[in-house]
Amino acid sequence: MQGEVDQSFIQALEHRPNLSVPEAQGIPLIDLSVLNSPDNHNIDGLVLEIRNACKNWGFFQVINHGVPLEKRHKIENASRKFFAQPLEEKRKVRRDEASALGYYDTEHTKNVRDWKELFDYGVQNPTLVSASSEPDDKEVVQWFNRLPEYPPEFREACEEYAKDLEKLAYKLMELIALSLGLPANSFCNFYRDQTSLIRLNHYPPCPVPHLALGVGRHKDSGALTILAQDDVGGLEVKRKSDGEWTRVKPTPDAYIINVGDILQAWSNEIYESVEHRVVVNTEKERFSIAFFFNPAHYTMVKPLDELINEKNPAKYRAYNWGKFIATRMQSNFKKLDVENIQVHHFRVPE
């Protein structure tokens, strides 16, 4: 029945023979070329691969994803040119308390642990977000993209790349919905006014690797992350099987996909967000581009009705995504007296 979990479909997937899934340093490598075939005969096999990867790892890589390489190379080149500028030039488009979009570096925070600089670009311009974390505050503010003058192709590169990554993200969310036994379009309505963004990351060579990480251990708070990393690598994932850290070996032209906290809540922990980190390199600089596929600010995040019942009650109480990110935004510029808000704060006690 439309809108309900297709348990027979899930059982059929669970009892299919194990498929041989190639792995890139442990993380499943999934070929999406079947999506481009006219008959889609092997869609069940692809859905099973997605399900196994989300359940067992929370991470996977995709190839034959449909994103034109020239678009990826264009934004990668623009990113390198932008970060190569003097610091004073980059800080002209620095993000602030009024808008989370633009340039940010950790140098002024005196936090040697995170050794990186970044630039955030909103997929929708302006991006509509909640004005504050206060529950009764209904005000909405607009985040406008702050774009640098150099390189001149920066805006076009971001706009084109955003369109292609959005298409890929919708495809992946449809496959994830099917892997949960749901209709393919189950997540689409959450993205009418999405708060998705592209993050350009630059990790300079680090002279004190024993004191720093490119990014410390964390989980992504959004729904789905699509990452392009260069051939230097440095991403490490905490294996669910034994808690050990596993380095993700760069695969040419592939994208790394990971489940975020929102999808963990939507799926009622059928799928879980996984800790990851980035280690620094003493000799080489590293670049990566993350696409955070996030829903509208007014989205109330909670387990989907189709996935809960008396035997499997909701593990999360509903929370407002806009208020969530407003609180996170506040914590970037103010020292809060409490722990930074996390999805586990909304988990229902067992």
Note the pLDDT tens digit of each residue in 130-167: 888 788 888 999 999 999 999 999 999 999 999 999 99
Short-list 194, 256, 254, CA closest to 227? 256
Structure token pair of residue 248: 């993700």
Tell me what the mean pLDDT of segment 191-209 comes to: 92
Q: Which residues pair with 235 in a beta bridge?
A: 278
Short-list 25, 52, 69, CA closest to 244? 25
Q: How far apart are CA 29 and CA 59, in angstroms?
A: 10
| Percentage of residues in the chain having pLDDT higher than 70 | 86
| Helix or strand holding residue 175 (H, E) | helix 154-179
Give residue 336's pLDDT. 47
Inter-residue long-range contacts of 138-143, CB under 8 Å, 24+ positions, other chains counted: 140/297, 140/322, 141/98, 143/99, 143/100, 143/101
Tell me what the mean pLDDT of segment 298-310 comes to: 96
pLDDT tier at 210, thresholds 50, 70, 90: low
In the chain the domains, ranked by start, together with CATH numbers, are 69-346 (2.60.120.330)
Question: Between 113 and 333, where is the model more confident?
Answer: 113
Question: Between 332 and 251, where is the model more confident?
Answer: 251
pTM (2 d.p.): 0.90
Over 50: is that where the pLDDT of 338 sits? no
Q: Which residues pair with 218 in a beta bridge?
A: 276
Is 182:51 a contact under the CB 8 Å cutoff? no
Burial of 180 (0-12, 13-18, 19+ CB in 10 A): buried
pLDDT digits (tens, 9 = 90+) for 47-66: 999 999 999 999 999 999 99
Give residue 109's pLDDT. 46
Over 70: is that where the pLDDT of 294 sits? yes
Beta strands in the chain (DSSP E): 23-24, 27-31, 59-63, 102-105, 117-122, 127-130, 140-143, 197-203, 215-218, 224-229, 235-238, 245-247, 255-259, 276-278, 286-293, 300-301, 319-320
Give residue 89's pLDDT. 97
Which amino acid, residue 178? L
Over 60: is that where the pLDDT of 332 sits? no
| Percentage of residues in the chain having pLDDT higher than 90 | 71
Short-list 294, 298, 341, CA closest to 129? 298
Average pLDDT, the chain: 88
pLDDT digits (tens, 9 = 90+) for 77-107: 999 999 999 999 999 999 988 888 999 987 6
Which stretch of 234-238, 247-251, 338-342 has the lowest confidence by average pLDDT? 338-342
Over 90: is that where the pLDDT of 326 sits? no
